[in-house]
Amino acid sequence: MLLIFFALAVFLFLYPLVIYPPLIWILARLFPQAVRKSRPADLPTVTVIVPAHNEEAVISQKIQNTLSLDYPREKLEIMIASDGSTDRTVALARGFVDPSLFLLDFPVRRGKLSVLSDAVVRARGEILLLTDASALLRPDALLRLVENFSDPGVGCVSGRYVIARDVTPHLDGRGESERGYFEFEVFQRRQESLFHSTLGAHGAGYALRRNLFPELPSGTINDDFVIPMLILSRGYRTVYEDRAVVAEAHLATSRGEFRRRIRISHGNFQQIGLLLPALGLKNFRALFVFLSHKVIRAFQPFYLLLIFVLSAILGGPVFGGFFALQAIFYLAGTGGFLVSRPGRLFSVPLYFLMGNAAILYGFFRQIRPGKSSFRPQWEKS
């Protein structure tokens, strides 16, 4: 019986990491659903919404970057939505004079979700582009996103997030590991998009039809995942546009990165309860991707704990040796956290250990009593 539990735990751990990626690649080639992309002669109007809280360090560059997009200016509306900023964010934004640029200055901080919802009500564009203040879009990114909406079945399009080396002062071992993880994610998103739909979007930059912007439950954490998934639950596709590149600096410390991952993990468990009933059995392809990529993967630390404990209980040369290897790996990850600049030897176990510890923390944050009082404001890393 212990061997059965051990084998099941190993399978569930390996499935989203080793089995699912080649499986979705095969399915995407056997049963593809290509998006009918084209660039219409009469481009749709677009509202770019930039939620911002104390972004004085990046807001000027963000506005300049958005104004330089390769898109007809008469078709473009840019909204800087300040969520109770107490620095020079609002003053710097007011320094730009352009007929397509609008500032929404909300003096009281209420959270990103409230700011987004208010901005959407004021938006006039047929398409919304939601993008972070610290993210820089390549000039053709908006055009590439818009091309996908020529397909009436597409409701949301995610751009491709990259870590920008030219604006990142130092990409240490943690940053290299994160960059590798994102490349792994990009590969899966491409295949899922070809098969049917990718899961969520990169918050740095994604577009959607304005009339599909959903009403979000209060306290929603991972809005850049829940918004596309609720659009998906209404029968539209959420696709991945590899050519719409959005770059951002990697500046997170280990502590800040850990906090960010806890928040994402908390949101993952929150959205499982929200989105499984919404998806239901209406679309088997979407449900298969969600279960494989998100639900099974969300419980990864529990599989690892079971594998670790059962290895010790089963004992013997094989399981005892496997237990020792796990212990060494976890000790290396702990060691990487204790040093300021871990090398490659420590960066992979550190990234792995931090990710799984954050998942556990997020799980208990979600199930704890009084979780409904969670403050729906963004937490900077």
How do residues 96-114 score in pLDDT, each as one tens digit? 999 999 999 999 998 888 8
Tell me the mean pLDDT in the region 231-236: 90
Q: How many CB atoms lie within 10 A of CB 116?
A: 20
pLDDT higher for 19 or 233? 19
The neighbouring-strand residues paired with 255 are: none
Q: pLDDT at position 224, please?
A: 87
How far is residue 107's CA from residue 27's CA, in Å, rounded to a whole number?
49
Q: Which amino acid is residue 125, in one-letter code? A: G
Could you tell me how many helices (H) and strands (E) the chain has, helices first?
14, 8
The neighbouring-strand residues paired with 68 are: none
Contact present, 53 and 80 (Cβ < 8 Å)? no
Q: Which amino acid is residue 251, in one-letter code? A: L
Q: pLDDT at position 32, please?
A: 95
Tell me the mean pLDDT in the region 189-212: 93
Contact present, 32 and 112 (Cβ < 8 Å)? no
How far is residue 129's CA from residue 115's CA, in Å, rounded to a whole number?
14
Q: Which CATH superfamily does the domain covering 46-253 fall into?
A: Spore Coat Polysaccharide Biosynthesis Protein SpsA; Chain A (3.90.550.10)
How far is residue 361's CA from residue 103's CA, in Å, rounded to a whole number?
37
Residue 90's nearest CA partner among 53, 115, 129, 35 is: 53
Q: What torsion, rounded to 10 degrees, do the Cα atoms 267, 284, 181, 157 define?
A: -80
372-378: long-range contacts, CB 8 A cutoff, minimum separation 24: 372/219, 374/219, 374/221, 374/266, 375/111, 376/111, 376/112, 376/113, 376/114, 376/218, 376/219, 376/220, 376/221, 377/53, 377/83, 377/109, 377/110, 377/111, 377/112, 378/51, 378/53, 378/111, 378/112
How far is residue 80's CA from residue 83's CA, in Å, rounded to a whole number?
10
Give this prediction's pTM.
0.83
How far is residue 177's CA from residue 161's CA, in Å, rounded to a whole number?
15
Q: DSSP state, 106? A: E
Cα 120 to chain centroid distance, Å, stands at: 20
How do residues 199-208 score in pLDDT, each as one tens digit? 889 889 999 9
pLDDT > 90: percent of the chain? 55
Q: Which amino acid is residue 122, in one-letter code? A: R
Tell the burial category of 344 from Cβ atoms under 10 Å away from its Cβ (0-12, 13-18, 19+).
exposed
How far is residue 159's CA from residue 148's CA, in Å, rounded to a whole number?
11
Q: pLDDT at position 316, please?
A: 87
How do residues 22-54 score in pLDDT, each as one tens digit? 999 999 999 999 999 999 989 999 999 999 999
Q: Please, what is the Cα angle at 126 between 122 and 128, to 5 degrees?
A: 70
How do residues 259-310 score in pLDDT, each as one tens digit? 777 777 777 787 787 777 777 777 888 889 989 998 998 899 999 999 999 9
3-state SS class at 241: strand
Of 90-104, 313-327, 358-372, which has the strongest mean pLDDT?
90-104
- Per-residue confidence band for 168, with pLDDT thresholds at 50, 70 and 90: very low
Q: DSSP state, 376? A: -
Q: DSSP state, 37? A: -
How far is residue 81's CA from residue 208's CA, in Å, rounded to a whole number?
18
Residue 358's nearest CA partner among 290, 229, 248, 267 is: 267
Distances (CA, A) of 28 to 24, 80, 192, 193, 232: 6, 38, 7, 8, 18
Q: Please, what is the Cα angle at 359 between 356 and 360, to 5 degrees?
A: 90
